[in-house]
Amino acid sequence: MLRSALRNLLNLDDPPERTALAFAIGTFIGFSPLLGLHTILAALVSVVWRLNKLAVLTGSFLSNPWTIPPIVGASWAIGRLIISSPPVELPQASLSALLTAEFWRLIAAQWRQLLPFAVGSLILSTVSAAITYPLMLYTLRSYRRKYPRVASHD
């Protein structure tokens, strides 16, 4: 599925700069601390800013059920370094745990630890978007040089 989405991204009609920007914004959203709202936010941002929905959604899907646990762990670790808070006792952060109310109750009970998570997530979001924009722009430009479009005459 991701391979198909990336192939479709490479063949969008938008200019490479605009597609790379949409993808980077999606990546920013995907790494944001608003877990569970990434898809909704990506759809809203793409409509409000008139960005390509496929590019924004594909970028946001870099954060997926298999990458969420390391992203959450890295976010907390980075946030703790910045804010100097003590380590948090996290419940088991597996896909099945993320889908339980008990997991979120335990997280909510440690609300003071949410600030380091939010700070760390925002740092990861910014860094990931800053990295993905030039990488996607380079990829799009290279692909389009290698496979130029033939103008269709209707």
Q: Are the C-beta atoms of residues 52 and 46 closer than 8 Å to each other?
A: yes
Residue with tokens 């290279």: 142
Q: Model confidence over 6-53: pLDDT tens digits?
A: 777 788 888 999 999 999 999 999 999 988 889 999 999 999 999 999
Is the pLDDT score of 130 beyond 90?
yes
Pick from 28, 9, 6: nearest CA to 128: 28
Predicted structure pTM score: 0.79
Using one digit for the tens of pLDDT, what is the confidence trace for 45-86? 999 999 999 999 999 998 887 888 899 889 988 998 898 766
pLDDT given for residue 4 in this prediction: 78
Judged on CB neighbours under 10 Å (0-12, 13-18, 19+), 23 is: buried
Longest C-alpha distance within the chain, in Å? Answer: 65
